[in-house]
Structure 1
Amino acid sequence: MSKNPILKTFVLAVSLFFFSNFVSAQKTTQKVVIKTFLHCDHCKECETCGQKFKTEMLKIKGVKMYELDDKAMTFTIYYNSKKTTLQAIKDGISKLGYDADDVKANPEAYESLDGCCKA
């Protein structure tokens, strides 16, 4: 059985190409925990506010996935760092009516929340 150096080189080049693309894709996904403030104990399940989380959070450009921990009052956000910035995500959360670390809730968005979800 003869060894074909051209075939070996081709297989190695293709393998390196796929591996480098995989590593590159892994580096673009970032995870961040953002502190917020919830005024009630059921915002996540609230008909109005809960629906905002389910529909609007993933509309923030670059956000791939999120988790709301209503007890710890935090958002854990997984996002594509090539498509958005941490500041843009915080601004997006603010536009939903919630604080995001040092970015205060947009007053108009906050007013649109159900009464139970406001202070």
Structure 2
Amino acid sequence: MLRNLFLTALTSLILLGNAFAGKLISDDKEKEVKIKTSAICGMCKSRIERNLTFEKGVKEANLDVKSKIVTIKYNPSKTDVSKLKANISKTGYDADEVVADEAGYNKLPSCCKKGGGMEQ
């Protein structure tokens, strides 16, 4: 009887361990999201990419200035799309439906603001 109890407990631990290991592995998969911004120029590109790299979980950020779309590779167990959009907004730019934070926008150089003369 003691042997059966031991085997049952051991089997439970092994199954439980495998379930947790599978969860950890799946949570660490890299995801990619594309977010439309209000970026205008190369300075905007540098600012957005730099600030996103400070966001926990972001592995890579690349802004295509022509399309105004930033492609972000991130770890979904450390951050999510709403946090990424908030980061872009706080930097002073629109991020899809999230409007640019006013304080961040006011800190941008005039050429990086909407209607700054360089927008296509």
TM-score by length of 1: 0.68
3-state SS, counterpart of residue 33 of structure 1: strand
Q: Is the 8 A contact 2:45 2:63 kept in 1?
A: no
Q: Percent identity?
A: 37
CA distances 1:6-47 after superposition (whole Å, capped 9, x unpaired) = xxxxxxxxxxx9xx88x9268521000001112x3xx22x3x
Q: Report how many aligned residue pairs link the two structures.
A: 94
Work out the CA distance in 1 between the residues paired with 2:35 and 2:50: 19
Counterparts of 2:49 and 2:85 in 1: how far apart (Å)?
A: 17
Q: Which residues of structure 2 form unaligned runs of 5+? A: 1-17, 115-120
Q: For the residues of structure 2 that align with 1:115 and 1:51, how far apart are their CA atoms? A: 16
Shift of 1:53: 3.1
Q: Does 1:33 align with 2:28?
A: no
| Runs of 4 or more consecutive aligned structure 1 residues displaced over 3 Å after TM superposition | none
| Corresponding residue for residue 8 of structure 1 | none
2:55 to 55, 60, 70: 60
2:91 aligned counterpart, secondary structure: coil
Query: 2:79 aligned with 1:78, yes or no?
Result: no
Give the Å deviation of 1:62.
Answer: 1.2
Shift of 1:54: 4.5
Residue equivalent to 2:88: 93
Contact 2:85 2:98 in 1 (8 A): yes
Maintained 8 Å contact 2:45/2:65: no
RMSD: 2.3
Taking the aligned partners of 2:50 and 2:68, their CA distance within structure 1 comes to 19
Whichever structure has more helix as a proportion of its residues is 2
1:117 and 2:112 are equivalent in the alignment: yes
The question of whether the paired residues in 1 share the 8 Å contact of 2:49 and 2:62 is answered with no
